[in-house]
Amino acid sequence: MPKIEMTVNGKAVSVDVEPGDLLANVLRDKLGLIGTKIACGEGECGCCTVLVDGVSVTSCIFPAFKAAGREVLTIEGLSEDDQLDPIQEAFKEKAAAQCGYCTPGMIMSAKALLNENPHPTTEEIEQGISGNLCRCTGYYQIVQAITMAARHMAEKGGAS
Ligand code: FES
Ligand code: FES
């Protein structure tokens, strides 16, 4: 079975992958990173969103071999030493974290958005999470949480 090397949450890993393996399955089943959820399995709902080289991808349709030599960030890689990422903090504070399927993907999409655009408008936030489908609520608190996270990150000098 071919092996690929990649960096996952800052750590170099070497993992066996079959040609048809998808990144979401490799992360969950071979690396034990079950924070990434698989719901639709068709690239439609955003639950499986992770970042590859800082850009969001739906890992349920992303061939694992395409991650070779690249940096993958999953929800498990956001907190450090039990210190939540500002986006996670804001989701907690605004009560925006809802079901366990959608929330990791929402947070990872927010991370990708703020990487690219540290000062998004409300419309840009709505656009940034438009690929993450939630069937249980409106997006009001989620948009508020991302707005708050952007502000906190800017205050801490994490964004300019
Ligand atoms: S599980 Fe990947 S987009 Fe729905
Ligand atoms: S948060 Fe998961 S369906 Fe709404």
Instruction: Report CA(59)–ligand 2 centroid distance (Å).
Output: 18
What is the full per-residue pLDDT of the chain (160 aa) written as tens digits? 789 999 999 999 999 999 999 999 999 999 999 999 999 999 999 999 999 999 999 999 999 999 999 999 999 999 988 899 999 999 999 999 878 899 999 999 999 999 999 999 999 999 999 999 987 776 899 999 999 999 999 988 744 4
What is the per-residue burial (b if ≥16 Cβ within 10 Å, else e) of 79-100? Answer: eeeeeebbbbbbbeebebbeee
Using the atom order of ligand 1, give the atom closest to the CA of residue 49: 2
Which of 22, 23, 56, 60, when mutated, tests ligand 1's pocket best, judged by the most ligand atoms within 8 Å of its CB? 60
Give the position, in ligand 1's atom list, of the atom nearest the Cα of 133. 4
Return the ligand number nearest the Cα of 139.
2
d(CA 70, CA 6): 5
In terms of Cβ atoms closer than 10 Å to its own Cβ (0-12, 13-18, 19+), residue 71 is: middle
Q: For residue 49, how far is its CA from the centre of ligand 1 (angstroms)?
A: 7
Intra-chain end-to-end CA distance of the chain, in Å: 45
User: Is this structure's pTM higher than 0.85?
Assistant: yes
Ligand 1 site, residue 97, Cβ cutoff 6 A: no
* 98: DSSP letter: -
User: What SS3 state is found at 83?
Assistant: strand
- Pick the atom of ligand 1 nearest to 59's CA: 2
